[in-house]
């Protein structure tokens, strides 16, 4: 799988998860927000295999996402 195709696939998965969150009332969630949350833990150990990335995106829970957003705000990280 080429890098561009991989990026497109990950982008589609993140957008799908964001749409799922919007359906249950979290209207401000975007695909890039989901990727920011999921990829945050990859800074320590590097990027995992594709199957692990897909699993991390599809198994992301709203509570995990909201905890990430809250901690990011406490740390003073700028949100888009």
Residue 80 has pLDDT above 60, yes or no: no
**Residue 72 Cα to chain centre, angstroms:** 14
DSSP letters for 31-53: HHHHHHHHHTTHHHH----HHHH
Number of structural domains the chain divides into: 1
Judge contact between 29 and 22, C-beta under 8 A: yes
**Residue 72, CA atoms < 13 Å, CB-side half-sphere:** 15
- Model's pTM, two decimal places? 0.88
Q: What is the pLDDT of residues 22-78, one digit of tens each?
A: 999 999 999 999 999 999 999 888 989 999 999 999 999 999 999 999 999 998 876
The pLDDT of residue 25 is 96
Structural domain includes residue 46: yes
Domain span holding position 10: 3-74
Distance of alpha carbon 34 from alpha carbon 40, whole angstroms: 10
In a domain? residue 79: no
Tell me whether residue 80 is in a domain. Answer: no
């Amino acid at each position: 799988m080429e890098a561009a195709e991989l990026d497109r696939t990950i982008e589609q998965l993140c957008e799908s998860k964001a749409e799922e969150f919007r359906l249950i009332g979290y209207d401000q969630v975007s695909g890039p927000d989901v990727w920011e949350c999921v990829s945050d833990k990859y800074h320590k150990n590097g990027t995992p295999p594709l199957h692990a990335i897909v699993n991390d995106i599809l198994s992301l829970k709203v509570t995990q996402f909201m905890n990430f957003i809250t901690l990011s705000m406490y740390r003073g990280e700028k949100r888009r």
